[in-house]
Structure 1
């Protein structure tokens, strides 16, 4: 109801302004062309000031109304993401101050000098002004670029020694996650070996012993609170982009060219749900690069848990090698031996009877 009322008031204001302008036009016809021009200049100059004030109030109101729905209203989900927030706030502060000052001067000048008889002074060149508006923006932009590069080199550099490593592969239109297993190393893969029907989404070479304990899943990406994670990112078809908005991270997923970045989760999913006051909160991994007609649906779930919960989850995961080769799965052999033992006991019992 409030929204409809606001729209009605805005429409009414425009109607009133239009009617005032029409009335002014009729009056100007009666008074003469010169008088009409001066009158129109006064109206336009006044409207410039009104537009400035109403516009500033509108910006403030929209910020108050919708800021809580933006990511900046909630703390970054990663330790390193706080650097991105800081950089963004600095950029907003610098550009915001420049924007407000220039717009205030622009609209005020339009009002103050609406119909001045003073002669305009033209000057072809001014060394001081040239230096001022060249050097100052150059220094400010250089500082912003240096801050950005410093953060970029941190995120894409080598992670701490205790960091876990997870491989993230994009495909149209989902994500595939691979954990290296107990040996801490990924097995080799070859794109020509990709075969979804045989449960080999990544083209893993099963002859490589390092691949025998790798865990591949498309269900969700599970991370540990407080433990750095290095993402090795790739794609098996077109260019995608790993977008981690809650962690303030993103990186291109390029076919044939692995890219990396790392960060440290700060809050578990449950803790972030409390911070956002959203019981259904989940961390998301999205594709931030247009990759086809179902690009909108390329969404994955990230779950950040405590170390103990992660240990329990990883212990329940079966290496993909054993999924593909169930005959080599020791648990299947135990079940088979147990079944044979039951059958033998049953036969003995029947024989006695």
Structure 2
């Protein structure tokens, strides 16, 4: 019934519009087409001038009212973001001057030079100087803007410094997961067929690789050090996602099976941003900038930017995933009065369970390799 009513309203609206158009034609015939055209031109010229004034006021009002509620130029929290803001500022100034100049002239000329019996039409078909002017000047301006863009692009996408932190970022429907290398500074190997949420191996780490034994796994929240470069190694487990860092002015796709990278240096801690924004609940956001499914809008991670001392304290409180797995596989503490012989048989059981996991991993890798061959 509701669909029928909507359809009927649309049909009725079409009929009314059609009848108004026909009535306008009859009126123009009665009054004379030339007189009707001149009157219509005057009305349109006045409306265009009103549109110009209201439109410019709307631009001012939107900037004045909403300026503090969006990401403002110069508020970037990363070194690369400063370059992005600067490039955007130059582009907005250049295109803004052209926009206001052309729009004001367009609507003002439409009003001033409306049809009039007191003025003769002047045809201006061609002018070499004007053609040269509006071809060469935009070409030079665009070349300068593109030059800035290329220079900044190579700075942003260049190799990360040798002292940069390494963090692995993995996206999946609908969450973000992070992995930090341990004291050895090396990430352990992973195998996609080894991903097992049930048995607490969300990234598919290969436990027989010793480099995995000190890697730290964190879900939902990433910690960074202010003033220290960080290189993100980005991937996905299911569909294409995208690491969106609005406060740092950065974005990079997360593609299954194809790692991507980006690097930057945070220049403001979370506490600095709380003071700057006046928002006691402020937190850096890691958003998914690629439509990835029904829960896309809720795929959100948090970033904590802190001092080196605070980061070291946080890292010291984290247990490597391998240690967590061993603790989960270990038997419960024996009850009071339990015999020593029972204790001696419990420990090997825990060890055997860890060995079973690594043995299964090795078998899966060998079978997959044989299949590919």
TM-score range, shorter chain: 0.7 to 0.9
In 1: Cα distance, 2:158 partner to 2:58 partner:
43
Which of 99, 117, 120 is residue 118 of structure 1 equivalent to? 120
Q: How does 1:142-181 map to 2 (within 5 A)?
A: 142-181=143-182
Question: Hey, what does 2:242 align to over in structure 1?
Answer: 241
Counterpart secondary structure, 2:310? helix
Q: Which moved more, 1:219-228 or 1:154-163?
A: 154-163
1:226 matched to 2:227? The reply is yes
Q: Is the 8 A contact 2:240 2:253 kept in 1?
A: yes
How far residue 327 of structure 1 moved from its aligned partner, in angstroms, is 7.7
Question: Hey, what does 1:41 align to over in structure 2?
Answer: 41
Q: Deviations over 1:245-303 (max 9, x none)?
A: 01111111111111111111111111101100100000010000001111111000111
In 1: Cα distance, 2:161 partner to 2:309 partner:
21
Q: Deviations over 1:139-179 (max 9, x none)?
A: 32233233223222222222222211101011111101000
How far residue 202 of structure 1 moved from its aligned partner, in angstroms, is 1.3
Counterpart secondary structure, 1:198? coil
Using structure 1 for the length normalisation, give the TM-score: 0.81
Question: Hey, what does 2:6 align to over in structure 1?
Answer: none
Q: Which moved more, 1:70-79 or 1:233-242?
A: 70-79
Q: CA distance change for structure 1 residues 327 and 110 in 2, over 3 Å: closer, same or farther?
A: closer
Q: Which moved more, 1:161-170 or 1:35-44?
A: 35-44
Counterpart secondary structure, 1:158? coil
In 2: Cα distance, 1:113 partner to 1:342 partner:
104
Q: Is the 8 A contact 1:224 1:305 kept in 2?
A: yes
Question: Hey, what does 1:206 align to over in structure 2?
Answer: 207
Q: Is the 8 A contact 1:225 1:305 kept in 2?
A: yes
Q: Is the 8 A contact 1:187 1:209 kept in 2?
A: yes
Question: Hey, what does 2:84 align to over in structure 1?
Answer: 84
CA-based RMSD of the aligned residues comes to 2.8
Q: CA distance change for structure 1 residues 111 and 254 in 2, over 3 Å: closer, same or farther?
A: same
Q: Deviations over 1:182-231 (max 9, x none)?
A: 11111111111111112111111111111111111103100011111111
Counterpart secondary structure, 2:161? coil
How far residue 42 of structure 1 moved from its aligned partner, in angstroms, is 2.7
How far residue 127 of structure 1 moved from its aligned partner, in angstroms, is 4.5
In 1: Cα distance, 2:73 partner to 2:152 partner:
21
How far residue 126 of structure 1 moved from its aligned partner, in angstroms, is 4.9
In 2: Cα distance, 1:206 partner to 1:314 partner:
21
In 2: Cα distance, 1:241 partner to 1:143 partner:
30
Q: CA distance change for structure 1 residues 342 and 99 in 2, over 3 Å: closer, same or farther?
A: farther
Counterpart secondary structure, 2:271? helix
Q: CA distance change for structure 1 residues 343 and 225 in 2, over 3 Å: closer, same or farther?
A: farther
Q: How does 1:1-353 map to 2 (within 5 A)?
A: 34-72=34-72, 75-116=75-116, 117-123=119-125, 126-326=127-327
How far residue 341 of structure 1 moved from its aligned partner, in angstroms, is 11
Tell me how many residue pairs correspond in the alignment: 313
Q: Is the 8 A contact 1:67 1:73 kept in 2?
A: no
Structure 1 segments unaligned to the other structure (5+ residues): 1-26, 345-353
How far residue 96 of structure 1 moved from its aligned partner, in angstroms, is 1.0
Structure 2 segments unaligned to the other structure (5+ residues): 1-26, 340-373
